[in-house]
Amino acid sequence: MKNNREILLHLSLIYGIGPTLVLKFIKKLFNEFVAGQRHPEIQKKDFDLSMVYELGQNDFERKFSFTKNQAESIVNGLQNKALLSKELELIEKYKIDYHTFLDLDYPEILKSIYSPPIMIYSKGKPLNTYKKTLAIVGARKSTSYSQRVLDKIIPELVFNDISIVSGGALGVDTIAHKSTIDAGGRTIVVLGSGILSPYPERNIKFFKKVANGGGTLVSIFPLRMGPDRGTFPARNRVIAGLSTGCLVVEAAQKSGALITAKFALDEGRNVFAIPGNIESLMSVGCNNLIKQGAKLVNSVNDILEDYGITIVENDDKVSEVSAAKKIATTVSLEKKEKRLEVTPKNNMDKQASFILSSINMPLSLDNLSIKLNLDIEVLQEKLFDLELDGKIRQNMAGFWERT
């Protein structure tokens, strides 16, 4: 007999059956279960979902008020035993953790949102070890302003044990994740695809680094599922749900980052915004958020005070542990600065310069790799640097072109 965790995993794999339907179904089952118990508060552990496999389409329609299509989908999905067995094989093979919303290790902060995900996959640090979290989101086509802002505030956030949550996308997300790890902190990458089909591809090497020690990879999607239009709003909801607050750094008037901020507001989380140049399209979203009541961030103190943290300069009573942590962060930043001094951004290395000169028309990553005879991972890193410098960009088709 399958346990509740595997049954919920099976339900989560059925296309079109989301958390709202499953919660509705479980609530009715549990209420009936409790009604038949003399002491429900001590019987809860005996609650069994296995009877779901015995229900027919009419049961789901009449008893649980599912539509005909929903009832048909869930019955067919539950009859497909391979759907569950293949996912369990992948979980075991790649040592991936999964947590259902009935599990004790399911993040409490996520469980508290409206219709929490049925289950969440993770690889890396255990999710229940994160106590203070801040989402940092923004434009994929961010400017150097985002890099400067995050280089300034993230080390202090890390020093105060605040972990950074973001979506692993290019631009602000990637800057936030990498700056956190560079400062000695931990980061949660919430993917818009399955953990075994990470997106974007150019961040795959970095995602492995996160899973192997820098933090945690998280997804609510089946392991082999690729990204599509519907996965990113769902991902943004999880980013907001895993975070106590949400900081928007750069965002256009219509931006996925603003969707994340709205989810955060809906769940009563703090929303912060970095003010920007009124002449920049990348500042419109943030400046509008501030007009609507988001907290304007001039310095890291504007964030820390909402976490109940006050920075005291030259405090002689700093503990040895905190002092050591501060030193580690400083050393990490010094190393980063030295790397930048060796290859300053305004003085590209020969390889980056060669790549730039070869982009005389829009080219895909694969075509560039073939044309330049460069390994994909090396090419991705150089393209990222050139994009941060504003030299190149990806067009709507995903091809690389000069700005």
Nearest to 193 by CA among 175, 205, 207, 209: 207
Q: What CA–CA distance (Å, rounded) separates 257 from 267?
A: 16
The CATH class, in words, for 350-402 is: mainly alpha
Q: Is the pLDDT of residue 367 over 60?
A: yes
Arithmetic mean of pLDDT, 346-357: 75
Do 123-329 and 350-402 agree at the fold level?
no
The answer to whether the beta carbons of residues 130 and 163 sit under 8 Å apart is yes
Give pairs for 21-27: CB < 8 Å, separation 24+.
21/66, 21/70, 21/74, 22/118, 23/115, 24/64, 24/65, 25/52, 25/60, 25/64
Q: What is the pLDDT of residue 281?
A: 87
User: In this structure, which CATH number among 1.10.760.10, 3.40.50.450, 3.30.70.100, 3.40.50.300 belongs to the domain 123-329?
Assistant: 3.40.50.450
Q: What is the pLDDT of residue 337?
A: 45
Q: What is the pLDDT of residue 397?
A: 54
Nearest to 22 by CA among 118, 121, 113: 118
Query: What residue type is 75 in one-letter code?
Result: V
Nearest to 153 by CA among 130, 174, 175: 175
* pLDDT tens column, 190-236: 999 999 999 999 999 999 999 998 899 999 999 999 998 888 999 99
Q: What CA–CA distance (Å, rounded) separates 119 from 107?
A: 10
* pLDDT tens column, 244-260: 999 999 998 888 899 99
Would you call the peptide bond into 126 cis, given omega within 30 degrees of 0 as the criterion? no
Q: What CA–CA distance (Å, rounded) separates 289 from 153?
A: 20
Q: What CA–CA distance (Å, rounded) separates 308 from 301?
A: 10
* pLDDT tens column, 124-183: 999 999 999 999 999 998 889 999 999 999 999 999 999 999 999 999 999 999 999 999
The residue written with tokens 């004790």 in the block is 104
**How many CB atoms within 10 Å of residue 135?**
32
Q: List the chain domain ranges.
A: 4-93, 123-329, 350-402
The answer to whether the beta carbons of residues 172 and 250 sit under 8 Å apart is yes
Structure tokens at 121: 């996959």
Q: What CA–CA distance (Å, rounded) separates 90 from 279?
A: 49
* pLDDT tens column, 71-84: 999 999 999 999 99
Place 36 in a pLDDT band, splitting at 50, 70 and 90.
low
